[in-house]
Amino acid sequence: MTNRICGIHAVYEALASERLPIERVHVAREGHSVKLQAILDLARKRDIPIRKEERSVLDRMAEGGGHQGIVAITAALSYADFEVLFQRERPLVVVLDGVEDPHNLGAVIRTAEASNASGILVPERHSAPLTATVVKASAGASAYVPIVRVKNLVNGIDELKQRGVWIVGIDPAGTREWTDFDYTGPIALVFGGEHRGLRRLVREHCDALVRLPMLGKIASLNVSVAAGVILYEVVRQRLHSPPRRGGVAAP
């Protein structure tokens, strides 16, 4: 099974990271730009075959997606080992409980990379697979952010706890607002799926629940938007505060 990575930014990052096994690159015959040339140079440096194609061929390969004149073919994207989440002194893990929309997953991956997250933990069931749509939506960030898949998400959360990571669920029932928590220690942020939010068992295994206030008539935010808000509160705190042990809640 192969995956198609479409678009200039996504293909460039996939090549630059050297993390994804790119099999070949298809480029429009009439394509000429500085960024496109940089992509071709990277492909040649890695001895990856380049094929010049008519745009109609790229249209078919992209299956309706925007390809910007370039499509890379990669072997099926692989999940990372659980241990990769602990390669940093202060892990910042994003846990997704049932995010099934590939565009949402891609958007979360993009924000996770921008905020220097350690990786993303997803369940084997009820999670969007790592398809070309996810790669495209991540704007190339999927080449840098490890995605770890576990059979049982609750067990995965318990393993994080045992390794000293503080589990914070984002839920409307949260007892604190999202800024009233200390994220400077090892943290895992748990976000619910598009339709049901956090499942009861997952919620019960969180050490703390925080909420984003909804002041309008809509009851919740898109998961990728919520992830952006929370992750950049983590970034703000970590840039301006010394680390504390154990994810202790702020007073």
* DSSP string over 63-119: TTS--TTEEEEEEPP-PBPGGGGGSSSS-EEEEEES---HHHHHHHHHHHHHTT-SE
Same domain, 42 and 71: yes
Same domain, 95 and 11: no
Which CATH number is 62's domain given?
3.30.1330.30
Same domain, 8 and 112: no
Last residue of a domain, one of 60, 75, 90: 75
Do 142 and 135 form a contact (C-beta atoms < 8 A)? yes
User: What is the helix (H) or strand (E) element at residue 177, kind and residue range?
Assistant: strand 176-177
Same domain, 98 and 59: no
Instruction: Indicate the pairing of strand 22-28 with strand 50-53.
Output: parallel
What is the spatial distance between Cα 152 and Cα 201, in angstroms, rounded to a whole number?
11
Last residue of a domain, one of 52, 75, 98: 75
Same domain, 126 and 195: yes
Same domain, 108 and 61: no
Same domain, 38 and 131: no
- The reply to whether the predicted model has a pTM over 0.85 is no
Per-residue pLDDT of 149-200, as tens digits, reads 999 999 999 999 999 999 999 998 898 999 999 999 999 999 998 878 899 9
Same domain, 43 and 86: no
Identify which of 76, 77, 133, 125 has the alpha carbon closest to the alpha carbon of residue 104.
133
Same domain, 106 and 193: yes
Same domain, 46 and 165: no
Q: What is the pLDDT along the chain (251 residues), one digit of tens a residue?
A: 357 888 888 888 888 887 777 889 999 988 778 888 899 999 999 899 999 999 899 988 887 778 888 999 886 667 899 999 999 889 999 999 999 999 999 999 999 999 999 999 999 988 998 877 887 788 778 888 999 999 999 999 999 999 999 999 999 889 899 999 999 999 999 999 887 889 999 999 999 999 998 888 877 788 999 999 999 999 999 998 766 654 444 43
Which CATH number is 182's domain given?
3.40.1280.10
Please give the pLDDT value at position 241: 76
Can you give the residue range of the structural domain that contains 105?
Answer: 82-247
Give the chain's domain count. Answer: 2
**Dihedral over alpha carbons 129, 134, 140, 145 (to 10 degrees):** -40
Do 233 and 183 form a contact (C-beta atoms < 8 A)? yes
Per-residue pLDDT of 121-130, as tens digits, reads 999 988 998 8
Last residue of a domain, one of 44, 75, 106: 75
